[in-house]
Amino acid sequence: MDRIFFLSHAPIDLYFKQSPETFVVEEVPLYPFKEEGEHLVLKVRKKNLTTWQMLQSLSEQIGVKLRDIGYAGLKDKNALTYQFISMPKKYEKSLANFSHPNIKIIESHLHTNKIRLGHLKGNKFFVRLKKVLPHNAKKIENVLAIIQKEGIPNYFGYQRFGIEGDNYLLGKEIVEKRRKERNIKKRKLFINAYQSHLFNLWLSKRVERSRLIESFSSKELRDILDLPDEMIKNLKAQEQFFKIYPGDIAKHYPKGKLFFVDDPLAEAKRFQSRDISPTGLLPGAKTPRAEGLAREIEKDFDEEIELKGDRRYAWVFVEDIETNYKEDKAWFELGFFLPKGSYATILLEEIAHRKLKESE
């Protein structure tokens, strides 16, 4: 499960443990609400609760069925989080009597449709890192300057793999017919973790190759990568860190259609402009595969999986980065925006250059 960092700095001493005081997440909706319609949209603040626990409390107190509540995504338990949910308008009066010490309804709107999974642009984050000495605060600022320019690899975070981090192993056993799982939800959960594991392995391989291309001369790369001179020249000519290969499947960014890369140099310029980003494979049924050189790498992380697969952005861009260093408390506070499906912990681990769970 080890991931390869794209930056090469030494680990930075800092302390981070997720809690409502150190980790705040605010959902950014996909569209403005119309302020009319049969659906009530609520902005809800919760702390120390999972999204499911919050929804269950609402369901029990106001009588709305769980299946009638819409939500765009699941938010962390050990955090202070803000997210939008929807329910039929008829429950508006019942909400007046809703009360929970860890749940607060911040605002309400009307809209014409139910919120569905994925109906969000992304999330704003506030993170407080502790035990950060002045010289390490400067290092963090330098790292963030590079990340602001280059973006980060879009790995799945440790949250995807279960408390013990081994859900993907159970998924692998199911895929290989060595394990049976009768519970449909658990079966999907384990297989999804295995798909995510394969994606992370593929992305690590591509990050590793990009580092090689950045670090070695064309002559040295002929022996290391065993590629034709013209292809090495093409890869070396790309200015961005994460190199695009012929046959890659890219996607318009931050949303849009998939397409095959025929001219890597031309698409690299669009990648630098944040108009597109290459994608990696979440193996499964009815999912397009890369071609050419890109497929030569990808096929080592492909599996016959009966569940539907997908293509996921390999690289994402961190926006609206803000920092505040409080030297008297040795706190480094960081705000930023990430597109949906991306993990704040991946950014924090890239900064720290080690696994965050080691600091807990």
In a domain, 77, yes or no: yes
Question: Among residues 118, 142, 158, which one ends one of the domains?
Answer: 118
Chain-centroid distance of CA 223 in Å reads 35
Contact yes or no for 75/19 (Cβ under 8 A):
no
Looking at the domain assignment, is residue 177 inside a domain? Answer: yes
| pLDDT attached to residue 159 | 86
**Which of 13, 76, 223, 262 is flagged as catalytic?**
76
Residue 130, domain member (yes or no): no
Looking at residue 199, its pLDDT comes to 98
Residue 125 lies in a domain: no
312 and 175 in a common domain: yes
- Do 182 and 292 belong together in one domain? yes
What dihedral angle (degrees, nearest 10) is formed by the CA atoms of 244, 247, 1, 5? 0
The CA distance from 341 to 321, in Å, is: 18
For residues 41 and 172, state if they share a domain: no
The answer on 184 and 110 residing in a single domain is: no
Mention every residue, 6+ apart, whose C-beta is less than 8 A from residue 201. Answer: 301
Answer yes or no: is 335 within a domain. Answer: no
Query: Cβ of 138: how many Cβ atoms within 10 Å?
Result: 12
* Gyration radius of the chain over CA positions: 22
Q: How far is CA 350 from CA 99, 219, 343, 353, in A?
A: 40, 30, 11, 5
Residues 6 or more apart in contact with residue 194 via CB below 8 angstroms: 167, 168, 169, 170, 171, 172, 174, 175, 303, 305
Identify whether 357 is part of a domain.
no
pLDDT tens digits for range 293-317: 999 999 999 999 989 999 999 999 9
On whether the CB atoms of residues 116 and 70 are closer than 8 A, the answer is: yes
Residue 5 included in any domain: no
274 is a domain residue: yes
The structural domain count of the chain equals: 2
| 102 lies in the same domain as 172 | no
Do both 80 and 186 map to the same domain?
Answer: no
CA distance 175 to 196: 13
Residue numbers in the chain where pLDDT is lower than 70: 1, 357-360
Residues 110, 194, single domain; the answer is no
Whether residue 270 sits in one domain with residue 189: yes
Instruction: Give pLDDT tens digits for 174-221.
Output: 999 999 998 998 999 999 999 999 999 999 999 999 999 999 999 999
> Does the annotation mark 76 as catalytic?
yes
Do 309 and 184 belong to one domain? yes
Domain holding 73: CATH number?
Answer: 3.30.2350.20
State the CATH number of the domain containing residue 310. 3.30.2340.10
The reported pLDDT for the residue numbered 357 is 64
Q: Which domain holds residue 111?
A: 31-118
pLDDT at position 236, please?
96
